[in-house]
Amino acid sequence: MSNTETETKTESDGSDSLITTDVQAEQNDRSAPSTRTAVAARNLNVYYGDEQAIKDVTMDIPEKRVTALIGPSGCGKSTFLRTINRMNDMIDICRVEGDVEFGGKNVYDPDVDPVALRRKIGMVFQKPNPFPKSIRDNVAYGLKIQGFDSDVDARVEESLKGAALYEEVKDQLDSSGLELSGGQQQRLCIARAIAPDPEVILMDEPTSALDPVAASKIEDLIDDLAEEYTVIIVTHNMQQAARISDRTAVFLTGGELVEYDDTAKIFEDPEEQRVEDYITGKFG
Amino acid sequence: MTDSTESPDLTRRNGFTRIKEGTYGGLFAVCAIVTLLTTVAIFATLLYDAVVFFSEVPVVEFLTSTEWSPNPAGGGQTFGIVPLLIGTVTVTVMAAFIALPIGTLTAIYLSEYATPNARSILKPLLEILAGIPTVVYGYFALVYVTPALKATLFPEMSTFNALSASLMIGIMTIPMVSSISEDAMSAVPDSLRQAGYGLGATKFEVSTGIVVPASISGIASSYILAVSRAVGETMIVVVAMGAQARMPAVREAVFGIPYVNPADVLLDSGMTITVAMVQIAGGDLVGGTLPYDSMFALGLALFVVTLVMNVLSDIIAERYREEY
């Protein structure tokens, strides 16, 4: 695992390749506040028809950190995630008010092409959904549609390494992605998401369909991914949020962002009684 | 609730259930077997009479002779399938040329692009197209399509011609292709489309790069059905293409390379295997004569053509199959 991690780093960050392990360890320490905001919501309201799914949410999501969105079912956390890369555009009755800023640009501005946006913001879904294509073609798909055709094999290998899957599949790159186990499929989906080198990776309950062992591998991987990418993860599992995230946002019913702070703060000493009740399992 | 010391009654209530279940199973099996037996019986009859025919007319002559004149009424008889094959292949290829692309694109539209409203109107309409009797298509070709083509594109076209018949067969089989292909495309899990969109694919890229490959085996079966339908189509051909078994003129290009002008085949009348069979069956036919037996040889040839196409398309579909 750690071996793979180092390899990824070396290959994808040419400038850092000579930096010693100590510096890498320092980079791994994400407790220091991030200097930049990757994604920001400004007075965001989202409606499905007459029903409000997100209620006046304003938050700054830091770059190269793991931000967890937690909350009970139907609290709008998945809606919020899909608002960031405009996946909700495909739902006819969905209406968005307010801004979502990505790199300082409101992604709901009329001149923004959702296709171009999604090429910068990768997504991993709840159920592993590899294409019924070979492992190689799965990872190369994003590269192919973006017209990237030099050194595809190298990029595929690098992405599979980045998703901690390469060692397991290096001899079967031409076999179907569906022949892998559930956990491997999910890591394949992560490799597919990182292959076009996005800036942000959205994850919608990526481990909820997996067994605990496979889930823990994904958790380790998320930790590694945060060195290069901004990770925003929706999870039902509070222990998971506590384990892997730097920042935690608690949504409660009605699409309200109740509290958003450093993960340690949320889980040890939340400001809001409702958050404490939710985290200690009194409801939800 | 029963007393906890008492074990639950797990015995069969009576033997009746068992008999009932057995009867149902038997009934279903009988239906399945009837279909199977019919197919086998048809094939056996074809084969039996065809063998009788081939004992009189050598297979090689049947397959290579370029003249078809069975003359059931008497007179010189020649049984060459070549002109009939030319007719059948022309009609099938032209019809496929129309139906497969238009049908597939229609299916993509219906499955991926159309709003639910548009789909709920268009799909039943298309299926009505499949319900029109073929004789109506035939007359439409003869009465409207041929005069229209003659007046505009091909003044030299004859009243009975292969082109109009093929066009109509193509149109007739569009709904078959679009309907079955659309079912296959709609069955592709939405999670795959989401994955594509999540990677920044456009609708077109998702449709052609993800949905179509994932549903290729369903699309291929729609092609098989449509092409088999075109091969076996009789009524449209009888009405619009006429019933003259003819060989196209072989011309000579530069350096004496022989070629056939497609216009000779398409704009003139012709005969397909099915029409030849109808013509023989429609005459005053006596069982046991050579023309009678030739019907079965033609039937067998048709069967083989369809079978070969089915096997070929199966192989092709298998190669591009992406199972989800």
Q: Which one is predicted more confidently, B179 or A254?
A: B179
Enter the CATH code of domain B60-320. 1.10.3720.10
pLDDT in the model for residue A79: 92
Q: How many residues does chain B have?
A: 324
Provide the token pair at B24: 């149902």
pLDDT at A7: 41
Q: Cα–Cα–Cα angle for B175, B181, B182, nearest 5°?
A: 85
pLDDT of residue B7: 80
Which chain A residue has its CA at the smallest distance from B202's CA? A115
Q: What is the mean pLDDT of chain B?
A: 86
Q: Which of A87, A133, A155 to mutate to test the interface with B (most CBs of B within 10 A)?
A: A133
> Among A48, A123, A21, which Cα is nearest to A81's?
A123
Break chain A into its structural domains and give their ranges: 25-279
Q: Identify the pLDDT of residue B74.
A: 66
Q: Is the pLDDT of residue A243 over 50?
A: yes
Under the banding of pLDDT at 50, 70 and 90, the label for residue B71 is confident
SS3 A172: coil
Residue B284, pLDDT score? 67
**More confident call, B251 vs B113:** B113
A166 by DSSP, 3-state: which?
A: helix
Does A118 score more than 50 pLDDT? Answer: yes
How far apart are the C-alpha atoms of B275 and A255, rounded to whole Å? 70
According to DSSP, residue B247 is labeled P
**pLDDT at position B256:** 74
**Residue pointed to by tokens 């091909």:** B154
Question: Chain A: nearest CA to B198, how far in angstroms?
Answer: 6
Q: Output the pLDDT for position B136.
A: 92
Residue in A116, A132, A192 nearest the CB of B199: A192
How far off is chain A from B183, nearest CA to CA, in Å? 18
Mean pLDDT to the nearest integer, A17-26: 41
Distance of alpha carbon B145 from its chain centroid, rounded? 22
State what percent of residues in chain B have pLDDT above 90: 36
In chain A, the DSSP E strands lie at 37-48, 51-62, 66-70, 94-102, 105-106, 121-124, 200-204, 230-234, 247-252, 256-262
Contact by Cβ (8 Å): B232, B207: no
pTM listed for this prediction: 0.81
Residue B72 predicted with pLDDT over 70: no
Above 70 in pLDDT, residue B110?
yes
Q: Which residues of A touch B202 (CB under 8 A)?
A: 115, 145
Residue A2 confidence (pLDDT): 42
CATH class of A25-279: alpha beta
Residue B239's nearest CA partner among B134, B98, B152 is B134
pLDDT tens digits along B87-103: 898 899 999 999 999 99
Q: Which of A227, A230, A241 is nearest to A25 (CA)?
A: A227
Record the tokens describing residue B307, joined without a space. 């079978």
In DSSP notation, A83-100 reads HHTTGGGGSTTEEEEEEE
Per-residue pLDDT at A33: 65
CA–CA gap between residue B198 and residue B189 (Å, rounded): 15
Which residues in B lie closer than 8 A to residue A122 (C-beta atoms)? 198-199
Residues of A in contact with B196 (CB under 8 A): 131, 141
Is the CB of B214 less than 8 angstroms away from the CB of A132? yes
- Tell me how far apart the alpha carbons of residues B49 and B11 are, in angstroms, rounded to a whole number: 58
Q: Looking at the predicted structure, is the pLDDT value of residue A4 above 70? A: no
- Taking the C-alpha atoms of residue A33 and residue A20, their distance in angstroms, rounded to an integer, is 23
CB contact under 8 A, A193 and B199: yes
| pLDDT at A241 exceeding the cut of 70 | yes
Token pair, residue B232, equals 């076996």
Amino acid at B115: T
Residue B146's φ and ψ, nearest 5 degrees, are -60, -50
In a mutational test of the B interface, the residue from A93, A123, A208 whose CB has the highest number of chain B CBs within 10 Å is A123
Question: Helix, strand, coil % (nearest 5) of chain B?
Answer: 70, 5, 25
Identify which of B173, B171, B206 has the alpha carbon closest to the alpha carbon of residue B192. B206
Q: Which residues of A touch B (CB under 8 A)?
A: 85, 87, 90, 115-120, 122-123, 125, 127, 129-133, 141-142, 144-146, 176, 178, 189, 192-193, 196
Tell me how far apart the alpha carbons of residues B188 and A279 are, in angstroms, rounded to a whole number.
Answer: 39
B247 alpha carbon, distance to own chain's centre: 24
Contact B210 A131 (CB under 8 A): yes
User: Which stretches within A85-149 are classed as H helix?
Assistant: 114-120, 135-145
Nearest one of A195, A162, A161 to B198, comparing CA atoms: A195
- Tell me the residue type at A123: M
Q: What chain A residue is nearest to B113 in terms of C-alpha separation? A: A90
CB A121 within 8 A of CB A82: no
Chain B residues within an 8 Å CB radius of A142:
199-200
Nearest CB to B200 within list A90, A129, A142 = A142
Chain A residues whose CB is inside 8 A of the B205 CB are: 145
| Predicted confidence band of residue A13 (pLDDT cuts 50, 70, 90) | very low
Tokens read off for B323: 């199972």
- The two structure tokens encoding residue A126: 């709840």
| Of the candidates A140, A141, A142, the residue with the CA atom closest to the CA atom of residue A151 | A140
Say how far apart CA B222 and CA B187 lie, in whole Å: 15
Q: Tell me the per-residue pLDDT of B223-240, one tens digit each, with 9 for 90 and over.
A: 988 998 899 888 898 888
Report d(CA B53, CA A42) in Å as an integer: 85
Q: B192 — contact with chain A (CB < 8 Å)? A: yes
Q: What is the pLDDT of residues A44-89, one digit of tens each?
A: 999 998 899 999 999 999 999 999 999 888 888 999 999 999 998 8
Residue A12 has pLDDT above 60, yes or no: no
Give the number of residues written for chain A.
Answer: 284
Q: Residue B3: is its pLDDT beyond 80?
A: no
When the pLDDT of each residue in chain A is averaged and rounded to a whole number, the result is: 85
If DSSP codes are grouped into helix, strand and coil, which group holds residue B158? Answer: coil
Give, as one character, the DSSP assignment of residue A236: S
Report pLDDT digits (tens) over A149-196: 788 899 999 999 989 899 899 899 999 999 999 999 999 999 999 999
Q: How far is CA B324 from the centre of its chain?
A: 27
Which of B117, B188, B191, B199 is the best substitution to test chain A (most A C-beta atoms within 10 A)? B199
Among the partner residues A90, A122, A129, nearest to B192 by beta-carbon distance? A129
CB of B113 within 8 Å of any CB in chain A?
no
